[in-house]
Structure 1
Amino acid sequence: MININPNTTGLPGIAQLGVIVGAVMTIGLILSALALIVAAIVWGFGANSSNPHLASRGKLGVLVACGAAVACGAAVTLINFFWSVGHSV
């Protein structure tokens, strides 16, 4: 039976890579919040100006921004879940 686990000390720079990934996740969450605000404003302008195309684009933008925030926030949990599923196969 072979038992191989991830080696966190095998390569130089692994700790720095973890810091970089955390920073990218933070930037992704900040940009998702900004996109949500802009899309909500577009949705509001579209609804108040009786422009259904603009309102629908704003709604889509809100959904995309929320989806991006969920993806950034759940990335580590999803990776850990599928890692454990892979170990059970």
Structure 2
Amino acid sequence: MDVFPNFDGLGGIGDLREVVGALLTIVLIVAVHMLIVSAIIWAIASANGNLAAASKARAGVLVALGAAVLAGGGVAWMNWLMHLGEQL
């Protein structure tokens, strides 16, 4: 039994794929910029002894890394699930 999602069964699915792809690109670009800015602020705040700003910048770095991992890993996870569904 070959089970595969019917992507053509819903009208406008091609447009939806383009929108999701564009949103994924925007999320990754924003996450990388946030990572760069937060890392710079973390370094400057740590060098000047401002521990409050350094801890907030460190949290920004962790949030940016988490967002990038989730956005990038979402595609791989979805492909893995679709491949798994074909085997059922």
- TM-score normalised to structure 2 length: 0.82
1:35 aligned residue? 34
CA RMSD of aligned residues (A): 2.0
Q: Residue by residue, what CA displacement relative to the aligned partner does 1:1-30 show, whole Å, maximum 9, x if unpaired?
A: x87531111121101111111100000000
Partner of 2:80: 81
Unaligned stretches of 5+ residues in structure 1: none
Structure 1 distance, partners of 2:25, 2:42, is 26
In the alignment, what sits opposite 1:65? Answer: 64
Distance across 2 between alignment mates of 1:57 and 1:49? 14
TM-score (norm 1): 0.81
Alignment check: 8 A CA contact 2:34 2:64 kept: yes
Q: 3-state SS of the aligned residue for 1:6?
A: coil
Query: How many pairs does the alignment contain?
Result: 88
CA–CA distance in structure 1, aligned partners of residues 85 and 15 of structure 2: 26
The sequence identity of aligned pairs, in percent, is 41
- Structure 1 runs of 4+ aligned residues shifted over 2 Å read 2-5, 79-89
Superposition deviation, residue 86 in structure 1:
6.5
